[in-house]
Amino acid sequence: MLVFILNAGSSSLKYQLMNPIIKKVFASGLCERIGIDGVLKHEYNDGKKLTLEVSMPTHKEAIEAVLSTLTTGEGKVIDSINDIDAIGHRAVHGGEEFSGSVLVTDRVIETMKRLIPLAPLHNPANILGMEICQELMPGKPNVAVFDTAFHQTMPDYAYMYALPYDQYTKHGIRKYGFHGTSHYFVSNEARQMLDKKYNTRIVVCHLGNGSSVSAVLDGKCIDTSMGLTPVQGLMMGTRSGDVGAGALQYMMTQEKISIDDALNIMNKESGILGISGKSSDLREVLEGMQNGDDRCRLAVEMVAYNIKKYVGGYVAALDGIDALCFTGGIGENSALIREIVCSGLDGMGLNLDPTKNNKRRHDARDIATNSSTSRIFVIPTNEEYVIANDTFKVVSEIR
Binding flags for ligand AMP, 223-262, as an x/- string (CB under 6 A) = --------------x-------------------------
Phi, psi of 236 (to 5 degrees): -125, -165
The answer to whether 209 contacts ligand AMP (rule: CB under 6 A) is yes
Under DSSP, is residue 328 helix (H, G, I), strand (E, B) or coil? Answer: helix
Query: CB of 110: closest distance to ligand AMP in angstroms?
Result: 32
The answer to whether 333 contacts ligand AMP (rule: CB under 6 A) is yes
Measured from the CB atom, is 95 or 271 closer to ligand AMP?
A: 271
CB-CB contact of 41 with 32 (8 Å): yes
Query: CB of 319: closest distance to ligand AMP in angstroms?
Result: 30
Query: CB of 329: closest distance to ligand AMP in angstroms?
Result: 2
- For residue 179, what is the DSSP state? -
Measured from the CB atom, is 67 or 236 closer to ligand AMP?
A: 236
Distances, alpha carbon 152 to alpha carbons 72, 176, 218, in Å: 42, 7, 14
Amino acid sitting at position 264: N
Phi, psi of 238 (to 5 degrees): -125, -5
Helix ranges, 88-244 (H): 106-114, 123-136, 156-159, 165-171, 180-193
The answer to whether 328 contacts ligand AMP (rule: CB under 6 A) is yes
- For residue 382, what is the DSSP state? -
Site for ligand AMP in 129-188 (CB under 6 A): none
**CA dist., res. 249 & res. 43, Å (int):** 46
Query: CB of 360: closest distance to ligand AMP in angstroms?
Result: 8
Among 152, 334, 357, 391, binds ligand AMP (CB under 6 A): 334
By CB under 6 A, which span of 166-174, 223-231, 290-298, 326-334 interacts with ligand AMP? 326-334
**CA dist., res. 315 & res. 56, Å (int):** 47
> Catalytic site residue 147?
yes
Strand partners, 13: 8, 31
**CA dist., res. 211 & res. 231, Å (int):** 10
Which of these is catalytic: 147, 322, 366, 390? 147
Query: CB of 255: closest distance to ligand AMP in angstroms?
Result: 27
Measured from the CB atom, is 18 or 282 closer to ligand AMP?
A: 282
Residues that bind ligand AMP (CB under 6 A): 208-209, 237, 281-283, 286, 328-330, 333-334
Catalytic residues: 147
